Structure 1
Amino acid sequence: MDACYVSAHSGIDSLIDKSLICVSGNMITMHDLLQQMGQAIVRNESPSEPERRSRLWIADDIYDVLRENNGTKILKGILLDISRISELELKPDVLVKMPNLKFLKFYRSDRYNCFQKKSKICLPQGLSSLPNELRYHCWEGYPLRTLPPRIDPRNLVELDFSYSNVEFLWEGKQVFFK
């Protein structure tokens, strides 16, 4: 958490003291009503234009933003259950318009079928780059054999490419700070 936020520990302690979150082992949980309130606040940032929100988690909204390639620098997080969308073909520069993206997670809630299903997200022309601000990148079933050629892993904390086609991450050396 400290890799993403200044004084994360004191902030988490404050939320625990206020009974807004609970920590048990390696899990942080919050009450469903608190989560719904946060989601309502984000939806109200731009009710009719999801690309102008700071976070996206509704599959249809994410599908439209990625298909139309109209992400913005406002966007900081995407959480997509790819089992909830139909096949989606992305352009190589789909993430270029989202330079402040810190959290990107494409996962399947139907993981038990991951090995038998082809990826629903297609990158026929590859992927040109990843946002420099990216901290957490999880892409279950990533369809390419390598990460994009233009990548700056300075802020990366975790990469998760479960069930993917990745054979190697990149050419040459990369320095990870976090």
Structure 2
Amino acid sequence: MDQDISLDIAYFFKGRSKEVVTRILDNCGYYIDIGISTLLDRSLLTVTKCGDLEMHDLIEQMGKYIVTQESPNDPSKRSRLRGYHDINYVLTQNRGTEATRDIVVQKQDAYREQHIVRWRGLTFSDISQLKLLNLDGVEALILSYVPSSLRVFRWRRCPMETLPFINESYELVEINLYDSPSIVDVWHGKKFLEKLKYLFLSKYRRLKRIPDLSEAPNLKVLDIQNCEKLNDIPQISQATRALLS
């Protein structure tokens, strides 16, 4: 488990906020507090004064090498995917396998040669064990066969008007669609999302109502800051912390 956490940080999250990374990996099912503490005690990880996670460049390179060596010639058989070419190869050519657990599009991958990467559609067929999907900045109009195993879904500037794939079978713990001006309805109707704890919907220019959350009994945080057209806020549980300003 500690190695998985170390590999995730080396591959995706070096230099990111400890608070954010801890929440993401915790929502993916790790015993993150113990894992982070162990890595800090072993000096494999440090925390800056600003609260960001750092590790030595050699440890980062070793982590990336370990992931690459899982399948040197075929990224579809690796546990983690990052980088435009690998993600493009797997998701646009329907080459997914159950080996892939995390897919993260980095900011520099979403903007190549000063142009936004536009994929007409991304297919997740056979990626049945996916836990983390981060598509920040990507423009894709169709997501096909998104697996119900998904626990953390992050898509800054999502170009869709709604997320048609969300239903009761999903194990989603966190949905983060920060700054997505196209979103009108996050999802339609009532969804029983028992495991959902975090819903980030801030900076939605067109959002007029938030989804029915009556069947999300474990929701902890609802972020609807800076949603200018939002005029209907339904009742939420007293256990939910709502960010409204």
Under a length normalisation based on structure 1, what TM-score does the superposition of the two structures give?
0.78
- The residue type paired with residue 185 of structure 2 is F
Mapped partners of 2:126, 2:149: distance in 1 = 12
Contact 1:130/1:148 (8 A) holds in 2:
no
- Flag as ranges the 4+ runs of structure 1 deviating above 4 A: none
1:7 corresponding residue in structure 2? 31
Contact 2:166/2:187 (8 A) holds in 1:
no
Structure 1 residue ranges without an equivalent (≥5) = 109-119
Q: CA deviation at 1:90?
A: 1.4
1:132 corresponding residue in structure 2? 148
* 1:9 to 1:122, Cα distance in 2 relative to 1, 3 A: closer
Mapped partners of 2:131, 2:51: distance in 1 = 21
Cα deviations across residues 102-159 of structure 1 (Å, max 9, x unaligned)?
1111224xxxxxxxxxxx6332xx4345322222222233222111244344332242
Higher relative contact order (CA 8 A, sep 6+): 1
- The residue type paired with residue 140 of structure 2 is C
* 1:90 to 1:172, Cα distance in 2 relative to 1, 3 A: same
2:174 corresponding residue in structure 1? 157
- The residue type paired with residue 140 of structure 1 is R
Contact 2:121/2:140 (8 A) holds in 1:
yes
Mapped partners of 1:26, 1:136: distance in 2 = 22
Structure 2 residue ranges without an equivalent (≥5) = 1-24, 198-245
Mapped partners of 1:135, 1:27: distance in 2 = 23
* 1:62 to 1:127, Cα distance in 2 relative to 1, 3 A: closer
Under a length normalisation based on structure 2, what TM-score does the superposition of the two structures give?
0.58
Quote the RMSD (CA, aligned, Å). Answer: 2.4
Count of residues in Structure 1 that have an aligned counterpart in Structure 2: 163
1:166 aligned residue (178, 183, 194): 183
What SS is found at the alignment partner of 2:65?
Answer: helix
What SS is found at the alignment partner of 2:27?
Answer: coil
2:94 aligned residue (63, 69, 81): 69
Contact 2:121/2:144 (8 A) holds in 1:
no
Mapped partners of 1:47, 1:21: distance in 2 = 26
Mapped partners of 2:144, 2:78: distance in 1 = 24
